[in-house]
Structure 1
């Protein structure tokens, strides 16, 4: 009996690629093991075109892990992904923001008396280990408070599926005795913009993850139950009020299911997580609607409820909320209400989710 005819190499590659495209993105080790099967599979996976098609097929980047404890700069993997330790230096950098496959690090020194803005920022790609040190600000002054965000420079014109190699922006906002201020760093010009100012809100920025929605970045303030809105197009700042029911402190900015602005806040004595959404076109202080109340007593183990809880992070695109407890860190999937313990140790400062598509770029050298 004659053997079956062999498929042309091009058609065989297409069939193999169709199979590899369906490898779940939330377990990078599977794609790596597939690349090591043979040189043909390695060549397919390491091709830039496959990386783009892989991202388009799955659309939403998975959460590969998160940074916990601002002081220790600890990356905790929630998958098989383990980033290169490209952020370790002789000083202790702190993760400030993570978005579009990049992480913004602040190069903190051990001298507590130094001006925090006299220390440079780093933008780090955990997938490749590449990093870029930003220059110091053109004007040095001691801020009352500050926060920063990193994002793709194309903003709304990009689908952000594979843009971590492209140009990026870093937005720095803060307060000082004259009011609020902002700077924008562009990787294309390798320089900071001139500073812009706004009226002093009489409050301090909370050093918690910001939220990017459309053409605006949102930052939390600490005491006044207000949110600073930074318009990326106009390079201007404005304020909107939070729901009156939101307590001072334990709030996290989040995106609603329809892509609008939302807030998650936790009331400890009731052990309830409240979700708020802001109606489009609402006025400066109104327009908030409580969309959901989640009873944590039915979701968390008893030992997690015995101590103070805090809502500490939100993974955009996946609808996952981070909760800190005295016995560890838990995630709650807002769609399924599935709870998962992702870190066994106790209290940490805050959680900064890291989301990206992982493809083994280094395998391009092994064809």
Structure 2
């Protein structure tokens, strides 16, 4: 007697689920799949499947667009969302914008969440779900001097819970401080500290640029009047450390402004910690490497002359106005236009023409159109 024939692949519920989980994480993927038949529609609209789909693509979400706004003018403007994808994956601009009657300042985006300074509180906003959580600053953290980052929890409940990491230079001692908020406990943890790199310099500060997540660590730029460093917060060990930036990435002794603009990035060729620097029209890509002796150092990789790719004039200049860590993509402004520059492989795409200085906060997450 012959064994019963195996069910066709698309009739096997478990196998079909695994196939649909591997659809591209674009806004139109699940809505299109739901049109195939009633069975597919029931499966793709199941909240449990939607959670699995988002978690499956957590490390490769698309860049839906970016937030921007003028945060220091009255009347206060909303935090605008501008989409970057084309139809049918384009998200309506107003769908993810935030109206407010107060002065909001975006600190960064990650894992579908936006961290906002709504002085004197923090606001954690989920634009897709519409959820908002307000947090009081922990003692010793001045909202005007602190910087922070938000991320989903790494545990199984990571789709629901989140963490906020704040960093600041202590006003009373030469130390850098960090504190972690967990939505699971609803409380701030203990203070974490490390000495400032410049001893008793009163000018040491954490820059306002958003943190960048590389591996299990968050990185911020810190600077005083003579040098620039990276502040690393290890999420696994909940510890702080300071490391120097690549050679010659120093600040002006009087203004504290960098001669070269730079940002932390995912290093080329398999990841790890990297730095993107811009000087004039030249882009340099650096990578942090550890030798056989266990000593870590910076190694310069590629150098790209962007004036040859972007048709820039002698009056133009380059600054880094944003970085999308999941897509390894930088927003560069020439003074007249903003370009999205994919770093690996190296590709450039004009985003818009503008002579207005603005900060761009990339929003990378899995989102189904129509939700």
- TM-score computed with the length of structure 2 as normaliser: 0.78
Which residue among 170, 175, 189 is the counterpart of 2:169? 175
Paired residues of 1:240 and 1:284 also in contact (CA < 8 A)? no
Q: Deviation string for 1:104-140 (max 9, x for gaps)?
A: 11114xxxxxxxxxx1111111221122122x13425
Aligned to 2:301: 291
Is 1:266 the equivalent of 2:278?
Answer: yes
Is 1:204 the equivalent of 2:181?
Answer: no
CA distance in 1, matches of 2:295, 2:322: 24
Is 1:357 the equivalent of 2:366?
Answer: yes
- How many residue pairs get aligned? The number is 335
CA distance in 2, matches of 1:76, 1:194: 38
Paired residues of 2:147 and 2:208 also in contact (CA < 8 A)? yes
CA distance in 1, matches of 2:366, 2:243: 34
CA distance in 1, matches of 2:106, 2:286: 27
Is 1:74 the equivalent of 2:80?
Answer: yes
Paired residues of 1:241 and 1:284 also in contact (CA < 8 A)? no
Change in Cα spacing, 1:259 to 1:193, as seen in structure 2 (3 Å) is same
Is 1:194 the equivalent of 2:190?
Answer: yes
Q: Name segments (4+ residues, structure 1) moved above 6 Å.
A: 12-19, 281-285
After TM superposition, give the deviation of residue 259 of structure 1 in Å. 2.2
Aligned to 1:48: 47
Paired residues of 1:173 and 1:181 also in contact (CA < 8 A)? yes
Matches within 5 A, 1:210-229: 210-223=211-224, 224-229=227-232
Q: Deviation string for 1:217-237 (max 9, x for gaps)?
A: 111113422011122344332
- TM-score computed with the length of structure 1 as normaliser: 0.78
Name stretches of at least 5 consecutive residues in structure 1 with no aligned partner: 1-6, 109-118, 363-367
Change in Cα spacing, 1:195 to 1:17, as seen in structure 2 (3 Å) is closer
CA distance in 1, matches of 2:47, 2:229: 43
Aligned to 1:279: 289
CA distance in 1, matches of 2:235, 2:55: 26
After TM superposition, give the deviation of residue 243 of structure 1 in Å. 1.1
Paired residues of 2:152 and 2:159 also in contact (CA < 8 A)? no
CA distance in 1, matches of 2:153, 2:58: 23
Paired residues of 2:290 and 2:296 also in contact (CA < 8 A)? no
Paired residues of 1:216 and 1:231 also in contact (CA < 8 A)? yes
CA distance in 1, matches of 2:189, 2:293: 30
